[in-house]
Amino acid sequence: MKEEKKEVKEMSRAGRIILSILFPVLLFAAVLAVLAAHWALSQWGGLTMEEIVFELTAPLEGTGNGMIEDFILRCVVPALAACGCAIAVLVRFRRLSFYHHIAVFGAIGSLAVLVAAVVWFGSRVGLTEYVVNRSTTSDFIEKEYADPKKTDLEFPSRKRNLIQIYLESMEVTFTDKEHGGAFEKDVIPELTGLAAENESFSGQKGILNGGLSLPGTTWTIGAMFGMTSGLPLNVDIERNSMSAMTSFFPQIRTMGDILQDEGYRQMFVLGSDATFGGRRLYFTEHGDFEIRDYVYAKEQGIIPEDYKVWWGMEDEITFQMARDALTELAEDGRPFNLTLLTVDTHFTDGYICRLCGDEYDEQYSNVFACSSRQVSEFIDWVKEQDFYENTTIMLTGDHPTMDADYCKSVPDDYSRRTYTCYINSAAERSEPDTSREFSTFDNFPTTLAAMGVKIEGDRLGLGTNLFSKEKTLLETYGADKVRSEVSKKTDFIEKMEQLDPVTQAKVEKYGSVRIRSETYDLTHGWISVSTDPFDLPPDEPYKYIRLKIWVERGGQMIRRWIQTKPLGDGGYYTTFDPLKDLDGYPEIKYQFVIKFKDGASYNLGPEGVFRNLPGHTFLESVLEENDNQHIATAEDDELPDE
């Protein structure tokens, strides 16, 4: 009997302990869920599950606008305070008979609030629709996908330069009704004029047209990915391919890949940290872009080290960096692609810079008006340069604004589309009087066509060349059908996200090659590196094995490519001496690369680093292991120094 009472007492004590923990934890979770849901929906109008899933798997580094600090202050701190209050109440009444009731009803009430918050938030972001779509398999994308790897592209003998300007949150909506917008007063008059004078595929003089943002393209990196690959950025949260962020859809061929293969020098200029959302990874892996962002601006002394406004720096500085970059690119002699992303018009309400006026009652309107003026002035500057005659300019909004309040007065039946304008195109429309129904996927082949590129079948990815007579997916199936199909789960996208098994095996095989020895003397400017023996398949002839040496400066790489020689026992070595210009950098990295005649190239062995330590002239290098999880981009046979 005594033992039974003892067990009951111990069970009662254990129950009290569990309830004492459960109530505060559930209350914390409930308060956090309610506040986080309200905070997210107040920050992002039109927030979708596709974006939430991607951002949960992408790096947070580079998040701007004080968003993390704001979330902690407005959501986490109050939730912690509520949790503290629950603990204080339990401690205060721990010896009273109704303690048990407080803990039980508190836990049940907190759980109910938590569930209600999740259900409410899920209904606002389309959670049910997302779950249904992701559990429904479709082969629509695979059937409609025109693979750029298998499509013939014929560039003109004199390759045209390209300037792509992605305008944050810019919509056709913001012009007035007379020009096809939804506002009573045009807040982007300069952009309206540019689109009316050039090409927006409206078919009507003075009327603006734009691209529909489909699922997977409604936030910045998704939008840029869609417009340069012709695919939606749909990833599943249960897979880790994007969360690891070691590669970015390694099996696809994008605009950046195409232009790189054609010998273009490419730069990405933006006013925030390019790392945020995987942008740095995408643009370096697909096109080897030089990145000139907020980090670069600080490292180069363009802005002070402690300078930060909004997401990093205002567009005024970014446009000046773009002018400097274009001047440098034009002097280089190679065809170039400069991609620019603005940020001042990011929600909520945009950033008021020193150039902004106050002609409108709403702050966001004044910011959009300021952006319109700055873009127009930048285009005017470009037109004055010698390189303009052979340069195509693409202007596009990245996606419709997510500001929760700005478009409240827009009618529900108005189709909100991204601003679109092609300037100085080398292509002419087949049917100039026809208005095109298109999505942002269509920018991919259309931009190449505007550069004078002839495209077999006039389709790339899920996009159609709008200068041609070929129908877009929207014109063929209708917006609702396409929107539904690209939202669904597809084995094709999953395959493109990851390396295929054969390639993965080769990555692992060649990445496991060991480095035999590494010596260097940076004061006198020479290095010597060799590999252990390894087998090369006789049925896969290789084109070359080279050593890539690089230093990182402001987000870009300064590279050297060095020829190698066989050692005779199956290994390879290289010696090189004109490296004095790289002396002074704290680290100089290197990587052997093997390229096969089929165009595939792989990292050969781990990434290494020469450490330039003060007071040392002859050092043994220290290797840094590399996970070798992504295929190296295929390089040209002769790679110029940068």
For 283-312, the pLDDT digits (tens) are 988 998 999 999 999 988 999 989 999 889
CA pair distance 190, 332, nearest whole angstrom: 31
State the Cα–Cα distance between residues 238 and 288, nearest whole angstrom. Answer: 29
Better pLDDT: 570 or 374? 374
Separation between Cα atoms, residue 333 and residue 324, nearest integer Å:
15
Question: What's the pLDDT band for 385 if we cut at 50, 70, 90?
Answer: very high
Average of pLDDT values for 242-266? 82
Those residues with Cβ within 8 angstroms of residue 559's Cβ, 6 or more apart along the chain or in another chain: 548, 549, 550, 639, 641, 642
Residue corresponding to tokens 């994308």: 141
pLDDT score recorded for residue 6: 44
pLDDT > 90: percent of the chain: 43
pLDDT at 419: 97
Tell me what the mean pLDDT of segment 319-340 comes to: 96
Residue 621 predicted with pLDDT over 90? no
639 has a pLDDT exceeding 60: no
Per-residue pLDDT averaged across 217-224, rounded?
91
Q: In three state form, how does the secondary structure of 212-264 look?
A: ECCCCCCCHHHHHHHHHHCCCCCCCCCCCHHHHCCCCCCCCCCHHHHHHHCCC
| pLDDT at residue 195, rounded to an integer | 95
DSSP secondary structure, 285-337, as one string: HTT-PEEESHHHHHHTTSS-TT--BTTBS-HHHHHHHHHHHHHHHHHH-S-EE
Higher pLDDT pick, 438 / 246: 438
Secondary structure class of 474 (helix, strand, coil): helix
**Helix 315-332, helix 363-383: angle, nearest 10:** 20
Strands laid side by side in the 619-620 sheet: 565-566, 572-576, 526-531, 515-521, 619-620
Model confidence at 622: pLDDT above 50: no
461 φ/ψ angles, rounded to the nearest 5 degrees:
60, -135
At 392, phi and psi to the nearest 5?
A: -100, 140
Residue from 266, 225, 228 nearest 148 by CA? 228
Q: Which range (149-158, 260-269, 575-584) has the least confidence?
A: 575-584
Between residues 20 and 416, the one the model is more confident about: 416
The structure tokens listed for 82 are: 């509520």
The 10s digit of each residue's pLDDT in 513-547 is: 888 877 776 666 667 888 888 888 777 777 788 88
- Domains observed in the chain: 2-134 (no CATH), 140-497 (3.40.720.10), 501-623 (2.60.40.10)
Residue 116 pLDDT exceeds 70: yes
**Using a CB cutoff of 8 Å and minimum separation of 24, what contacts does 322-327 make?**
322/269, 322/378, 323/378, 323/381, 325/267, 325/269, 325/292, 326/163, 326/382, 326/385, 326/387, 327/385
How confident is the model over 545-597, as pLDDT tens digits?
A: 888 877 766 545 566 777 788 877 777 777 766 555 565 667 778 888 887 77
Measured CA to CA, the distance from residue 520 to residue 292 in angstroms comes to 30
How far is the CA of 474 from the CAs of 221, 287, 461, 478, 486, in angstroms?
Answer: 22, 29, 14, 5, 12
Phi, psi (rounded to 5 degrees) for 338: -105, 120
Q: How far apart are CA 208 and CA 171, in angstroms?
A: 10
The counts of H helices and E strands in the chain are 20, 21
Specify the DSSP class assigned to residue 160: P
Percent of the chain clearing pLDDT 70 (strictly above): 77
Place of tokens 């700005």: 406
pLDDT mean over 343-356: 92
Task: Please classify residue 276 by burial: count the beta carbons closer than 10 Å to its beta carbon, then call 0-12 exposed, 13-18 middle and 19+ buried.
Answer: buried
Bridge partners, residue 448, by sequence: none
Please report, as a single letter, which amino acid is at residue 324.
D
pLDDT for position 7: 43
Residue 383, SS3 per DSSP: helix
Mean pLDDT of the chain: 81
Residue 83 has pLDDT above 70, yes or no: yes
Pick from 203, 330, 175, 201: which is nearest to 267 by CA?
330
pLDDT digits (tens, 9 = 90+) for 471-508: 999 999 999 999 999 988 888 888 887 777 777 788 78
Q: Which two tokens stand for residue 410?
A: 């827009």
Q: What is residue 137's three-state secondary structure?
A: strand
CA torsion sign, 476 to 479 to 480 to 481?
A: positive
